[in-house]
Structure 1
Amino acid sequence: MRKTDYAFWTFLLMTGLAGATTLLNVTQTYSATSSQNSELYKQLDLFGDVLERVRSDYVEKPDDTQLIESAINGMLSSLDPHSSYMSPKNFRDMQVQTRGEFGGLGIEVTMENGVIKVVSPIDDTPAAKAGLMANDLITHLDNEAISGLTLEQAVEKMRGPVNTPIMLTVVRKGKDDPFDVKVVRDVIRINPVKSRAEGDIGYIKVSTFNEQTHANLVKAVETLDKQIGPNLKGWVIDLRNNPGGLLDQAIAVSDDFLEQGAIVLTKGRNNEETQRANARPGDISDGKKIVVLINGGSASASEIVAGALQDQKRATIIGTRSFGKGSVQTIIPLGANGAIRLTTARYYTPSNRSIQAKGIEPDIVIDEAIPDDLKDKIGADKPRGEASLRGHLKNPDGSAKEGKDEESGSSSYVAKDADKDTQLQYALSFLHGTAKGPEAANNASTAPAAPTTPPAANSSGTTTPTPPEEKKTTPN
């Protein structure tokens, strides 16, 4: 037999083997997939059996919708503390919070002794124009008593279509009798940015990251820049007790103070899902020194901003360790059935560090001075951070995989009086160059530096980090 014949038969044999191997691999893959699907179907059959037994044998007739919603929520919440199911109503409420505008009255309220207490009316809103005042107590809505309603239920009644009226029955200190106030609902815009001049320093408080945050922060900087003038020393960006919000807004706010370099990296389950957001040229502060204040209530999107400005050496971070929520949630609508909030990625600061269950450690640690009358109460409550949440994602860096070196959260107390606000006063002294203590000498991080750009891929994501806790007060 000729050599060419040997080569021909060898080729056929190898081709046959390759084909057999391919067929074998396909068969094995199909078999494995089929086995997994078979096991899944068994578990779904189990769920169906339990559901039917509950529906037929439970002592009272259950609500089928609530049973299914609870089962879905149980499945999602078993993944991590931030994945959950949102009913259609809860989904609408979430959209209101992230949009930052809704039809309502324009008052921030809380619940006290079974009635609604006005924390403060929002300027230029129907409530303010109608004369409602801080500490007013609202006992009735359209002549129906509030007693028995939750804060959320009362808020739902006060919100409504624009140009519709509602009658509030108000009890006010100094007035002998309750009185009625008619308020006509209007579009209410929640301003997540408050600002003021602290002498020659611009102070900006960012309370959340909704769709209004970036635009309002730019306006605040422009206003204070004109107000303070050429003697402006620097900026204090207060992110204390900011629970987070929209990722794209956190990126935009970080970009406001950076000329170049990475802002945040997000990494999903697969490598191809890695994305990086980069800063574009333009610093709205003109390179002025920046201090960012954080504490145990600073979470998620606020940690992205603090981490970006810290890693890029654009700001000095002052305060206490942040909450430690280093994951990103995507809101996935389910048509008329609400939506799910699903953890889809971890985020990393520009130096490629995960703060999950560890938090942002400030450059300068300053504990807030707690008044003596509150020390016993606050001291008894252990600060809660991501690391203390049951089922939280582990930090992927180093030994933290086994849950070691996890530590997040700190006191979230902030003094109401600015003069007694230890962290703020230290920040102001730091920017003036008069802060005392060994840490004050190390202010190198306040000078803008050439940003570092770690290797990553693609552009920024648009998913939504979720606040870890509900606010104690609710705007209407």
Structure 2
Amino acid sequence: MGPLVRRRRFPTWPSLLPLVLGVALVAVGSRARSADDEEDYRLSSLRVFNRVVLLVKEQYVEPQRIRPKEMLLAALDSVEKYVPEVLVEEGRDEAVVVVGAERRSFPLDDVTSLWELSFKLRDVFRFLETRVSTDVDRRDVEYAAVNGMLSKLDPHSVLLEPKFSQEMKLNTKGEFGGLGIVISIRDGALTVISPIDGTPADRAGVKAQDKIVKIGEESTVNMGLDEAVERLRGKPGTSVTVWILRKGWDEPQRFDIVRAVIKVDSVTHQLLDQTDKDAGRIGYVKIKQFQGHTAEDVATAVAAMETQAGKRLSGVVLDLRNNPGGLLEQAVEVSNLFMTDGVLVITQDGGSAGERREIRAQANRPHLDHPLIVLVNGGSASASEIVAGAIKNRGRGLIVGDQTFGKGSVQQLYDFPDQSSLKLTIGQYLTPGDESIQSVGITPDVDVLAVQADDKDELNLFPDEHTREEDLERHLDDARTRKHESRYQLAYLAEQLSEDERERRDVSTKFTEDFEIRFARRLVQQAPFTSRDRQLEAIKPVIDEVSAEEDARIDAALSKLAIDWTRDPGAAGKLAAAPAAGALTTTVLSAEPADAGATLKVTVQAKNAGTSPLYRVRANTQATMGLFSDHELLFGKLDAGQAREWTVTMKVPKELQSRRDLVRLTFGDERAKLATLDVPVTINAVARPRFSYALFIDDTRGGNGDGLLQAGESVELVVSIKNTGTGPSDEPTALLKNLGGSETFIETGRQKLEALKPASAGVARFGFKVQPEAGKAPPKADLRLQVFDAVTGDVLVERLQFPIKAAQTEVKKKKGVVEATAATTVLAAADGAAQVLARAEGGTRFDAVAEVNGFVRVRLGSLYGYVAQNGVGPTKGKAAVGADGQPQGLSWVYGRDPPHISFVGGALAVVDGDTFTVEARIEDDGPVKDGYIFVEDQKVYFEAFKAVRGPTNTVLKREVKLKPGVNVITVVAREDDEFAQREVMTVFSKKGDPLAKGGR
């Protein structure tokens, strides 16, 4: 094994915002191959897996977490999820691996070390590698096994596949070769969100909202964002041609742009507006992520603001909100900017007994001596927590905001020859004072809570349960953690933003001053000290003033909703005794079942059964499904004997399946929890659409009209889409994506159809050109068709391949009417092997258009088809057509209709026990390859069906184990590797408490 490139870093999480283009000497969107990655790749060689095993054995932070047998089973479980035809049945001391109709047992009692784990997986892979479908990428199977194994260690140890590995390195490096534009997909089009100032794209005149319709010779229609990134990035100094369509332009314009090194700023800054002209200015610095030059950029930003303020910069607000981390050394360097001596962070390998290393501030580094306020929230993690922890624990500044994420572990990155990377947890870090923040986070000095109180259905007065480190499965623990309380608490009425405005702010580079920035500015003005202790004492007047202002605003907003939010008079200072048990009684008044797509309404009553008033009575919902969780019910003040009702409304997505669920309401006041109330709720699924299709190539305008692809033709792929389901498709959409190269150029790849009622059909037309490279044999047009309903989420996906012929067939025009001499088929092209479009009864008359290759092209309303010349004859009169314009006697054949799956007993069940027998009937007018069952994300049954030529009618039956509450069961039936159908049912188990800790 060659030398490993090691870079210590903290993890960065994939951004949901549009990507910033630039980059990469290695293409990010495709897997780069090395000499170690030749065509005869064999699973059993374990090229990556064995490297990972070695590193885990030598470097992992907590060796006691390494349990080889569990890790092997997790690896096999991950492979089972990735490969449809693989099932793993776990026994006491064996694993039975099923591939299609074959099965083999592998003993596990000898798997007691990592190397024995590796040997056993090699045996399993030898069994799999010649039996799984050739369409399954063997490398991805190995990656799946590695990540399954690592999942048993901790949530941050992971193998990054090549494209993710390269993206992570680019994110932390912070600069790359490219154009300098932020892009996203908008309404199916590759759209420029904004050019970056001073970059090649900006200098070339690219503008926000431009549509990039072509990159080089490739159409961007339905091109994925990562694919576009790959094509636009490249080596600095190289050129790329993009074609841009702008509002007001009739035709796309060509832009030839030379790539350059693009620096993505991890740091932005702004001199804040003055509130007192005689006071100094306050500078604001935002760190988005810790990259290779972050500390230098912070120092430069502060120096620029110092100059702008005329050397009167009297404080700095450092914003680390939603900063997921980055490079450890940069977190240290940023901390060092604000401290000249002492410990900044401690790293420790292998837990409390491992090697301990103190990283201390260096006095000879650049230093900033301004008063400091640091903004944090639940999205501040890892390197952000190192900075916040150092500043707080060393007493250098105040921390304001929300509890941070709580990730106190250190990862190291190891690069592999196939350009994948292992991110492995090799240690933990401690903040000054030997304090771990693992699973706890940094507690702010001032806890700030954003409150929503403008809409009764969207109230949010209390902290939500955001996912943090402690919520992640198999998170690390550390006995050196300490829980702290914030010195001050403050709630403020949040600004209400529309979705459009929120999205605009997310992608805008324009500075927006929000409440927390304004509040931090007031704090640093009130407490212009570099001592945290002095700041804590000095800020109390501002806290009291702002709290009073915001409480008044919140009370006023709630008053408009007829909620008396009077505070308990006894709440001043220490609280008096909590209300007596039974002081509040609760009742469910109504909780009627709701249909998917409608609104679920639950009405409850809270009554003060005591002899004294209750103040600020509220309830909060809890459920296993996020849709039903974190709804707030505010009853406010309840006098003795007073009762008040509240109806909570929950919009149910139309795609939701039938389900029974449990919503738990927890009631309390300012002093204590008062009661709980469980409310059963039921959702009924609506009838859903499903899609089948027939298609043909229409080359009558840009080709020779034979229905076959030839080089140089501009054609339309015409797809007749039929709704074969029991419910309507309100927003059907069809997409055509190019899976090949530039030989196929899609011009129109997205079609929104009119709503389709059951049994009705619509037509989508996709335009594309066939332009194979000169001197090369014409390849196939490799396409993927996707039809989906945007409301219910139902989808049909299939890969299409059309051969491209070199020579054109001679086509002769023909006019007149022809009649089928007997029952005949109408084909999609002038080729006996073409797809059957329709069947015609004997005597069916057609308008003839042309003759080609022994076939007659005939009109089918607004469409065309081909009938064998020897199956029709000339006739007099007109072709008889129906109201839809189709010839009478014609019936369309929707040849691709996925299997039908129905559940015996229905798609919703409620049981008392912890097992359930799934019975799913699978029907199809042709053969079905196999079927399998998932319970949640666990595959529990697989069956390969015997090859038959005729229709399929079979039942999958399996008893499955249930957890308390809702269990989602998915049944999949596959006609082949590409074409499948899945249906979902839910089973609610009454056994156990689904909301108990660990009840899931």
TM-score (norm 1): 0.75
2:387 matches 1:305: yes
Q: What is residue 520 of structure 2 aligned with on the other side?
A: 427
Structure 1 pair 398/158, CA: closer, same or farther in 2 (3 Å)? closer
Residue aligning to 1:343: 425
> Which amino acid counterpart does residue 421 of structure 1 have in structure 2?
D
Mapped contact 2:453–2:459 kept (Cα < 8 A): no
Secondary structure of 1:191's aligned partner: coil
Q: CA deviation at 1:432?
A: 1.7
1:181 and 2:274 matched:
no
Match of 2:447 in 1: 365
What does residue 403 of structure 1 align with? none
CA deviations on 1:53-99 (whole Å, 9 max, x unpaired) are: 22233355532222222212222233222111133443333222222
Task: Give the structure 1 partner of residue 121 of structure 2.
Answer: 47
Alignment match, 1:324: 406
- Percent identity reads 35
Aligned-partner residue type, residue 361 of structure 2: A
Matching residue's letter, 1:216: D
Matched, 1:212 2:305: no
**Shift of residue 154 of structure 1?**
1.6
Q: Which residue of 2 aligns with 1:292?
A: 374
Residue in structure 2 matching 1:253, options 304, 327, 334: 334
1:368–1:421 contact (8 Å) kept in structure 2: no
Report what 1:202 is aligned to.
Answer: 283
What's 1:147 paired with?
221
CA RMSD in angstroms comes to 3.4
In structure 2, the residue matched to 1:244 is 325
Could you tell me how far 1:316 is from its partner in structure 2?
Answer: 0.7
1:332-411 maps to which residues of 2 (within 5 A)?
332-368=414-450, 376=458, 382-397=465-480
Is this contact kept in 2: 1:221–1:285, CA < 8 A?
no
Query: 1:455-474, CA deviations, whole angstroms, 9 ceiling, x for partnerless residues?
Result: xxxxxxxxxxxxxxxxxxxx
Q: What secondary structure sits across from 2:385 in the alignment? A: helix
Secondary structure of 2:449's match? coil
User: Is 1:369–1:422's contact at 8 Å kept on the other side of the alignment?
Assistant: no
SS at 2:311's partner residue?
helix
User: Do residues 109 (structure 1) and 191 (structure 2) align?
Assistant: no
Report the Cα offset of residue 264 of structure 1.
0.6
Partner of 1:80: 154
Q: Distance in 2 between matches of 1:178 and 1:440?
A: 62
Q: Which is greater in Rg?
A: 2
Shift of 1:209: 0.6
Compare 313-322 and 128-137 and name the one that shifted more.
128-137
**Could you tell me how far apart the structure 1 residues matched to 2:121 and 2:304 are?**
59
1:277 match:
359
1:173 Cα offset (Å): 4.1
In the aligned structure 2, how far is the partner of 1:156 from the partner of 1:123?
Answer: 22
Q: Whole-Å Cα distance in 2 between the matches of residues 378 and 155 of structure 1?
A: 39
Retained in 2: the 8 A contact 1:83–1:340?
yes
**Structure 2 residue aligned with 1:22:** none
- Cα contact 1:258–1:283 (8 A) shared by 2: no
Partner residue in 1 for 2:192: 118
SS at match of 1:360: coil
Pair 46,254 (structure 1): closer, same or farther in 2 beyond 3 Å = same
| Shift in CA distance, 153/389, structure 1 to aligned 2, threshold 3 Å | farther
- Structure 1, unaligned stretches of length 5 or more? 1-34, 401-410, 447-476
Contact 1:193 1:207 in 2 (8 A): yes
Cα offset, 1:285, TM superposition: 5.8
- Which is richer in helix? 1
- In structure 2, the CA distance between the partners of 1:37 and 1:53, relative to structure 1 (3 Å rule), is closer
DSSP 3-state at the match of 1:230: coil
Distance 1:39 1:299, change over 3 A: closer
Q: CA deviation at 1:350?
A: 0.5
Please give the alpha-carbon distance, in whole angstroms, between the structure 2 residues aligned to 1:56 and 1:251.
Answer: 51
Tell me how far apart the structure 2 counterparts of residues 350 and 445 of structure 1 sit (CA, whole Å). 24
Residues 222-270 of structure 1, C-alpha deviations (whole Å, 9 max, x = no match): 1111111232220011111111100000000000000211111111116
Alpha-carbon distance between aligned partners in 1 of 2:407 and 2:457, rounded to the nearest angstrom: 27
Within 2, Cα distance between the matches of 1:213 and 1:373?
41
Name the SS for the 1:330 alignment partner: strand
Shift of 1:389: 2.0
Cα distance in 2 between the residues matched to 1:237 and 1:398: 25
Amino acid at match of 2:300: K
Q: Is the 8 A contact 1:326 1:348 kept in 2?
A: yes
C-alpha change, 1:354 and 1:173, in structure 2 (3 Å) is farther
Distance apart, 1:44 and its partner CA: 3.0
Distance 2:454 2:365 in 1: 42
Q: CA deviation at 1:351?
A: 2.0
Contact persistence 1:103–1:186 (CA under 8 A)? yes
1:177 is displaced (CA, Å) by 4.8
Larger deviation: 245-254 or 417-426? 417-426
- The 1:399/1:315 distance shift into structure 2, 3 A limit, reads closer
Deviation at 1:297, TM superposition (A): 1.4
Deviations 1:12-39 (A, max 9, x none): xxxxxxxxxxxxxxxxxxxxxxx99975
Q: Which amino acid aligns with 1:237?
A: L
**Partner in structure 2 of residue 23 of structure 1:** none
In 2, distance between residues paired with 1:258 and 1:398? 24
Whether the 8 Å contact between 1:368 and 1:423 is mirrored in structure 2 is: no
Give the Cα–Cα distance (whole angstroms) in 1 for the partners of residues 409 and 189 of structure 2.
37
Aligned counterpart, 2:805: none
Q: Deviations over 1:383-414 (max 9, x none)?
A: 222222222222433699xxxxxxxxxx9x99
Structure 1 residue 294, shift from structure 2 partner: 0.8
In structure 2, the CA distance between the partners of 1:76 and 1:280, relative to structure 1 (3 Å rule), is: same
Secondary structure of the 1:307 match is helix
- Paired residue total: 398
1-side partners of 2:512 and 2:394: how far apart?
Answer: 31
Give the CA deviation at 1:440: 12
Letter in 1 for 2:127: R
- Retained in 2: the 8 A contact 1:258–1:282? no
Question: For 1:401-456, what per-residue CA distance to the aligned partner results, in whole angstroms no more than 9, with x for missing partners?
Answer: xxxxxxxxxx9x99748666111010011112299xxx99963599xxxxxxxxxx
Q: Assess if the C-alpha contact under 8 Å between 2:347 and 2:428 holds in 1.
A: yes
Q: What is the distance in 1 between the residues matched to 2:162 and 2:379?
A: 28
Gaps of 5+ in 2: 1-108, 274-280, 484-493, 540-1000
Note closer, same or farther for the CA distance 1:279–1:370 as it changes in structure 2 (3 Å cut): farther
Tell me how far apart the structure 1 counterparts of residues 179 and 456 of structure 2 sit (CA, whole Å).
33
SS in structure 2 of the partner of residue 102 of structure 1: strand
Aligned to 1:67: 141
1:172 corresponds in structure 2 to 246
Tell me, in whole angstroms, the C-alpha distance in 2 between the residues paired with 1:114 and 1:107.
18
In 2, the alpha carbon distance for the partners of 1:227 and 1:282 equals 26
Partner residue, 2:536: 443
Partners of 2:455 and 2:129 in 1: CA distance:
53
Instruction: Using CA pairs under 8 Å that are at least 6 residues apart, name the structure with larger relative contact order, 1 or 2.
Output: 1
SS at the partner of 1:69?
helix
The amino acid of 1:386's aligned partner reads E
Q: How far is the alpha carbon of 1:52 from its aligned partner?
A: 2.0
- Once the 2 structures are TM-superposed, how far is the Cα of residue 104 of structure 1 from its aligned partner? 0.5
What is the CA-CA distance between 1:42 and the residue it aligns to? Answer: 4.2
